[in-house]
Structure 1
Amino acid sequence: MTHNIYDLANELDRAIRLLPEYKAVEAVKVSLNSDTDAKAILDDYLGFQTELQGLMQTGQMPSADMQKRMEEIHQKVQANPLVSDYFAKQQHLSIYMSDLEKIIFRPLQDLMK
């Protein structure tokens, strides 16, 4: 039985969106986006992550100021129940995504052997 690979990929997309873990992240994100304090903390965290990744890609290590800022942002994330819940739920979903990634890339890994 042959399947169109794109049809299978779209079916996987739909199945992921039906996962309870996906729905949980989606629901908390709606709540988070309607809370200006939580949204500001998340935006600050994501902006800092992007900045940090750019720094690491150039081979630089975070300065003492950046490390202090990282700790401050981490404390804000932990102190806000909505933001910390968002990251906890996202972590649960990422387990599925990691497992799927392994399965999807297995044929390419087999070619490398």
Structure 2
Amino acid sequence: MSVNIYDTANQLEQDLRKTDEFQSLKSAFKSVKEDEEANKVFNEFRQVQQMIQQKQMSGQEITEEEAQQAQEVSKKIGENALITDLLEAEKRVGQMIDDINQTVLRPVSELYQ
């Protein structure tokens, strides 16, 4: 019996879109996008996050000013319920995807046990 694993992956994608977790994420993201202040803070957060990740990946030190900027943005994030809801929804979807990855990779990990 031959299985087309790509059909299974495409079905998984469609099923993921229908989950409560993904629908909550989609709704939370829409709410942030529609709120001018929340959207501005969220975009600032993403820029700072990307800058820090790039520096860490290239082995560069994060300056005191950059660390302070990250703290200020984190404070703004914590004060905005729309963004904290979005981050919580992202976390739930991320956990679900991690669980799925573990399941999908189980045959490979079992080979090495």
Q: Calculate the TM-score normalised by the size of structure 2.
A: 0.91
Partner of 1:96: 96
Matched, 1:76 2:76: yes
Partner of 2:50: 50
Matched, 1:14 2:14: yes
The Cα of 1:67 is off from its aligned counterpart by 1.1
Looking at structure 2, the residues matched to 95 and 107 of structure 1 have their Cα atoms a distance apart, in angstroms, of: 20
Q: Which runs of 5+ in 2 are unaligned?
A: none
Aligned positions, number? 113
Q: How does 1:19-38 map to 2 (within 5 A)?
A: 19-38=19-38
Percentage of matched positions with identical amino acids: 23
Looking at structure 1, the residues matched to 5 and 99 of structure 2 have their Cα atoms a distance apart, in angstroms, of: 19
Matched, 1:106 2:106: yes
Q: Which runs of 5+ in 1 are unaligned?
A: none
Partner of 2:64: 64
Looking at structure 2, the residues matched to 54 and 10 of structure 1 have their Cα atoms a distance apart, in angstroms, of: 31
Residues 68-113 of structure 1, C-alpha deviation per residue, up to 9 Å, x if partnerless? 1111010010111101110011111111111011122223334445
Q: Calculate the TM-score normalised by the size of structure 1.
A: 0.91
RMSD, aligned α-carbons: 1.4
Looking at structure 1, the residues matched to 94 and 111 of structure 2 have their Cα atoms a distance apart, in angstroms, of: 26
Looking at structure 1, the residues matched to 15 and 74 of structure 2 have their Cα atoms a distance apart, in angstroms, of: 33
Looking at structure 1, the residues matched to 34 and 70 of structure 2 have their Cα atoms a distance apart, in angstroms, of: 25
The Cα of 1:50 is off from its aligned counterpart by 0.9
Residues 26-74 of structure 1, C-alpha deviation per residue, up to 9 Å, x if partnerless? 0111111111111111111111111111100111232211111111010
